[in-house]
Structure 1
Amino acid sequence: MNWNLDPRRLNILPKLVLTCLVASVPLYLASLMITNSGAATVKENITRSTRAHLNFYLNALETEVYRVRKQKLDLLADDDLQYLANLTPAMTDYERNSSINRVVRRLALLKESSLYIEEAKVDIPMLGHVISTKYLSDNMDRQERDFLIEKVSKQRLTLYTDGERLLMGEIYPPFLPSKDPIFAIQIQLSIPNIRNTLSQISSGKGRVFLFSNAEEWSVSEYESDLISLSAMREFQERDTAALSSGDFLMDDGRDVFRVFYQKSDSLNATIVYSIPEHEIFGPLLKYRLWLWGLSILSVLIIISSSYWVIGAIHRPMRTMIHAFRRLQQGDLNVQITHRWNDEFQYLYMQFNKMTDRLSMLIQEVYEQKIRKQRAELKQLQSQINPHFLYNSFFLLYRLAKVQDYKNVLNLTEHLSEYFQFITRTSEDDIQLEQEVNHARAYVEIQSMRFKKQLSIQFAELPEVCGSLIVPRLILQPVLENAFQHGLEHKTSDGYLQIRFEIMNEQFMISVEDNGERITDDKLDELRTKLDRNDAEIETTGILNVHRRLRLKFGEFGGLSLSRSHLGGLRVDIRIPYERNE
């Protein structure tokens, strides 16, 4: 490292170090004045973040319980359940068994729809059985049924417990405490799964505890958790009835815990999260002096040494940024110089080498793309479909045999135009009018072949677009694809439509058919191939056309595929209009 005091020979790092040493002597003492304020702010942010984290999981649990309760209420109106509860004696064995099977499937679907449901069952006194996801079992005993009616009809609790299980229930009809219900629904929630969800909230030595405000039930992250139990009791002893959320400190004799709580009105429950104080704020206590001191130090150093920074870094960087912008705009001849013998001189030298190398590589890539485009065009021109050739000559034979000399003349004229265009390889780009005329000759040949099977609507090319310069063979391969894969197997009512349209700055050629063989999966597969830039996949047909249009016009040209309103495939050939013009 060069520590020569000559400014022109001094590197950037010594410049910054000397500046920092001069400016940082009084800064450390000044940083101590704001430590307490900074620590309080960070502590408040950590507390707010923890509360938000707790509230998020409680809202998620409320949403899940609400969804289960809604599905439970929807089950009350199930037709099969109503029939079994009211008309069992009048039903045949087949009707009864069918209804039972449907109810079992409905309960199984309810169980599978939620991670928190362990079992779901319906008690139907008239049926004499309980229907569950395990099919049939004996009716609830009197004590269990009375317990369910008491919890549901009198207290209307969302969740309740029988001492071992966490349950949700519903009776039908509701609000009839003096009579037995026609049927009752009981859903058992999975305490292990709720416990697993609670474990996702805590971190480190934290503990989570969910309990009923009526002291009916409780679920802890661990089956035996004295810390969470102490936090719950501490919470209940405090006067927190008016608060929906908050936090407080708890000392259990061994450690000091920060206890966060959040109440849920819909569940009539509270979730409590206790975590040792040092787990949250320990790192803050250790690093707060260094954190705030270095932050203020950095700001003041930047302000006091701005002259050096501007002279040593900002101006050379700005020069390099301008050079990159010129390079981005396509100026590959940009070169930059630097008068100081420091790191920027090395960067400038490497930048100049990079532009020279980039210019050479772009030229090589451009030439390679041009060669590839011409090779693909020659490949497409050489791929004369033998079936098309055989069928055309066979059609010519039939027309001559029936002495239809007029159509013989038309067909031979179209064939000569077709093969004259195909075999002409001297030009890579042609006028759009020539391409459309070639495609029209191809369509005329196919229409003579399939005149009883399909009708073709070939719109007129707008006169202003006839002189557009486009790659050869971009329309005929698309038409050939429509005939081969969309219309060839239609015995009647086939329809092909070719339209031209100018939209904004694009000229579009739309080819649509009413073929029935293109499936949604096949359409997605074709779109995927068009989007891929993989030189290894086949380059014939519409993919060949798409690639050559992209090579010619970039992202402004190419093909797009969609489902036609006719029912078959729609291919849109996009050509930049004003650019090409």
Structure 2
Amino acid sequence: MSLRLNTFTKIVGIIVLLLIPIIALYWFSNKTSMDVVMNEVEISMHKDLSYFAAETDETAEQLAKSGLMITEDINVRTLEFLEIATLYEQTDQKIRIADKLRLINASSDWDTTISIYAPATNTFVSTDFHLEYDKDLVAKNYSKVWKYTENVAPYYQNNPRFVRFLSEPYDSTSGNAGVIVEVSFAADELVKALERFKAGSKGDVFFSSPDQEILAVNGSDTELQKKLLAKVNLEKLSESQYTRIKLDGVEYTVNSVYMPELGWYLFDYLPIDDVVRPITANSNLFYICIVFLLIGSTIAAYVLYTNVQVPIRELIRGVKKLKKGEYPKLKVFHPNNEFHFLLVSFNDMASQIEQLIQNVYLEQIRSRDANLKQLQSQINPHFLYNCFSLIRSLTRLGEKESVMELALHLSRYYRYTTRSERQLAYLREEVELVKSYLAIQAMNVQDMTYVITIPEAMEELEIPRLILQPIVENAVLHGLEPIGGGEVQIAGSQNDRYNIITVTDNGVGVTEEQLAQLKLQMSMPPTEDKGCALWNTRQRMLLQYGQEAGVRLFRGDDGGLTVELYWPNDSEGNQ
């Protein structure tokens, strides 16, 4: 595991692990509290609703009993034979019955109408003297139980009413009854009762018939009530007393009580969010505090990470690079931080070590340059012997032009290599040397060709003397000679940052292991018994142009090897 995981990530992980059980415990506690509160609210709502329903049903039952008592009253029964009495007796009897009806009606809190009709004598008595007997209307509304109807007398101005008929005999119909008693009250009486109950209720209350006819106070959301009724299963609701229904993303608790006397249901519903809003608000406040705590803890961990972990990681990175022979300049974080002194000191130490190493390398290069100058004053016996042998062979063959061309290139080659007055040379001069060398080798190696493409813009660039010829010589001796021919390509290019010269051959090439070995030799100083031209070339590039210059090696797609020299195109060495 990396050091970063051991500090910053681990601290954040510990914070999260500490917060998870706290959040889980609070969530469980909050959920339990909400369940308990909702359960108590639902029980309370059902208890209040049951009391109100029982009170309403009892009032309707008292009215029905009053109607039954009237059918059994002796004075009322005389209406069946009223035609044999005198007109005075008939009038007096009707007045006494009307007074008794008004007395019974006064005992009820509701606006009730009680009417008596004797079909045999066509006698009609009512607590409301504005009413007239309508035989057809009675036939439509005739019911032995309470019935909600909108078929009312014109006097009621189409206001719906609840009606119930009692007769003598009790089980007779409207056509064969001796006496018919009609007890009715306005549906608005139930609405007024709802308004009084709603004033002290938590929810919204309404009456509903089995056919889902709704009676509710003014301003109620009847559309919502219809949707709730459509979702309610009355059989299950009568068993569980209350249920929860979700509509349009809002959850409601719904209570219901059946009123057997009226045959209607009393409903009360309440959005659960209205009940648990204080608990939800406290929960949200807690979660917000947890979020801020997590953010604050993360910021604190990040500050610790940037002030401690990052500098330590940077020091470790620098030590690893120093171990590899690189001399990095570390980033200096937070000037007021305790690690500032360590980072600055490390940079100073790395710079001093790099300077010392460069001085040692420079001395080695100077020593090698001295050896090179000494070697330049001598003729390479092997190369020279090969050239003389080639001249001799060409002379025997009578190749006078070839002998003259070979001698010309040989003279140019040794004139340039033995001249040591300058450490730098123009790129065109290096290219001319390479051309002479390749021309000589083309005469010696069968089927060897070469192509040189250097842009004019690069010809006047200054590079270290004899930097290109050793690479070309390696390409010929180790790439083409073993297979008796091939092609060497030398190309120059420039981009926004670098000048680049590539030397490519299509010779025997190298394996991946050999390429890795060459790269290793190029990065390591040569030993006394084993030199490396690539290492020397790379060091000369680094000393001349700095760390942005160097040598790169690539395997060719079709065999061979590509060596690339690159250096900054704004380097002082190019001016």
Q: TM-score range by the shorter chain?
A: 0.3 to 0.5
Choose 1 or 2 for highest CA Rg.
2
